[in-house]
Structure 1
Amino acid sequence: MTAPLKVDIWSDIACPWCYVGKRRFEEALVAFDASGAARPVEIEYHSFELAPDTPVDFDGSEVDFLAGHKGMPREQVVQMLGQMTEVAASVGLDYDFDALQHTKTLKAHELLHHAKAHGLQGELKERLLRAYFVEGRHLGRIDDLVELAAEVGLDADAARAVLESGELAPAVAQDIAQAQAYGIQGVPFFVVDGKYGVSGAQEPAVFVQVLEKAASDADEPADQATSTRG
């Protein structure tokens, strides 16, 4: 049986480009699978906090956060979010930045590690991104995260216990350390078969090209990820 290609994806649930990148990569997987020479693909998500100093309960809008955090004029932020909304719409996502509740994402990342252990990481990743960007849900509070965990089939009591204990915080830190070792400074970042790195929410054709390259020389020894930056 053909061994799957492993794709490791560093992302943050508070990253609008990460959701767009997810959709574009999913489109690429469909094309790759239809190519005939495709191999199965195994996906694992890894933690990355874009703004680790964000409070759990940020008092303000997304415009307030970006204007303060990045030092950008408010008018420029509003324009940027409008453009991001249009990009998201182009891949079928209905972003609502007015409803978005900016928060610290550490607990969400801990929950994703918990979901991985139960084979539901992909389902939870999709649910968290939709909850954050489309539904305006608060993803920094344990109660809200437990509710979303239950929606994808995780045991609510077990999820709560993991989040309250903080036992998976070291796993989040390990992911971030690995990102630093790869030289990752922004997300999304895709590492294909441990050898090829793709930075950013690239168009599907870029992902297909990298997947095909990885499939063609999958028997070569893995080396340090090489970046393809847009």
Structure 2
Amino acid sequence: MRIDIWSDVVCPFCWIGKRHLEAALEAFRSEHPGTEVEVVWRAFELDSAAPRHGERGDEESAAQMLSRKYGMTLTEAEAGQEQMADRFRELGLGYDWRSSRVSSTFDAHRLAALAADHDLADQVDEALRRAYFTNGERLSDPEVLRRIGVRAGLPADAVDGMLTGDGFGDRVRDDTEAARGIGVTGVPFFVFDGRLAVSGAQPVEVFGQALEQALVGRQP
């Protein structure tokens, strides 16, 4: 079974959804030993116009971005971010929303694509999310991306070549076009075996049901 997941590494619901899917997968694998499940991460930029590193030094905080985008007061946006941090803590995750700064994730997605070719997709995905949410780092910063890639086990020369060139950019754009082609307007978005779609950070039980339905659909 294959699960394609469209996600952005600065999307809080994407990390929550990932944890819920992981819990559902753990139960599914115990009930169906021998059933192989491949998880494929697909790129989706929530804000393709977000500034890239070096373009400006006044990047918005996540709360400021939400306030501007949805027309709420900054106080309301900050309260929402604190509620999100509470949800993160329930899952053993950290969210320092006061330090987070919104910037382009295009190069982060390129790094993730490189990692997928080296069977390190999940390690890099986790490191990118932790860098943004927990450590308040800018994922458009080449030094941050280089450190994440090398620490995850990617060859340093491959990471450097990707960061100084345009490698894997086409793959990021292809993922975006594929998402548009199936009507994806928000993330996380999960497609089980190319047939069954689940949108959003659904509860563990919903992902468990999706896995069972996808398995039944594979039967002759």
Q: TM-score when scaled to structure 2?
A: 0.93
Name the counterpart of 1:119: 119
Name the counterpart of 1:187: 187
2: CA distance between counterparts of 1:216 and 1:124? 32
1:69 aligns with 2:69: yes
- Provide closer, same or farther for how the CA distance between residues 24 and 38 of structure 1 changes in structure 2, counting only shifts above 3 A: farther
1: CA distance between counterparts of 2:106 and 2:70? 20
Question: How many Å apart are 1:101 and its aligned residue?
Answer: 2.4
1: CA distance between counterparts of 2:42 and 2:102? 20
Greater relative CO (CA pairs within 8 A, separation 6+): 2
- Note if contact 1:24-1:91 (Cα within 8 Å) is conserved in structure 2: no
User: What percentage of residue pairs aligned between the two structures are identical?
Assistant: 36
- Note if contact 1:32-1:38 (Cα within 8 Å) is conserved in structure 2: no
Aligned length: 216
Question: How many Å apart are 1:219 and its aligned residue?
Answer: 4.5
- Provide closer, same or farther for how the CA distance between residues 19 and 53 of structure 1 changes in structure 2, counting only shifts above 3 A: same
Name the counterpart of 1:91: 91
1: CA distance between counterparts of 2:213 and 2:39? 17
Q: How does 1:113-192 map to 2 (within 5 A)?
A: 113-192=113-192
- Note if contact 1:7-1:192 (Cα within 8 Å) is conserved in structure 2: yes
1:19 aligns with 2:23: no
After superposition, the CA RMSD in angstroms is: 1.4
Give the letter for the 1:50 counterpart. L
**Structure 1 unaligned blocks of 5 or more:** 221-230
The DSSP-based 3-state class of the residue aligned with 1:96 is: coil
2: CA distance between counterparts of 1:215 and 1:157? 41
Give the letter for the 1:138 counterpart. R
2: CA distance between counterparts of 1:20 and 1:153? 25
Query: Would you tell me which structure has more helix in proportion to its own residues?
Result: 2
1:42 aligns with 2:44: no
Q: TM-score when scaled to structure 1?
A: 0.89
1:102 aligns with 2:105: no
- Provide closer, same or farther for how the CA distance between residues 196 and 158 of structure 1 changes in structure 2, counting only shifts above 3 A: same
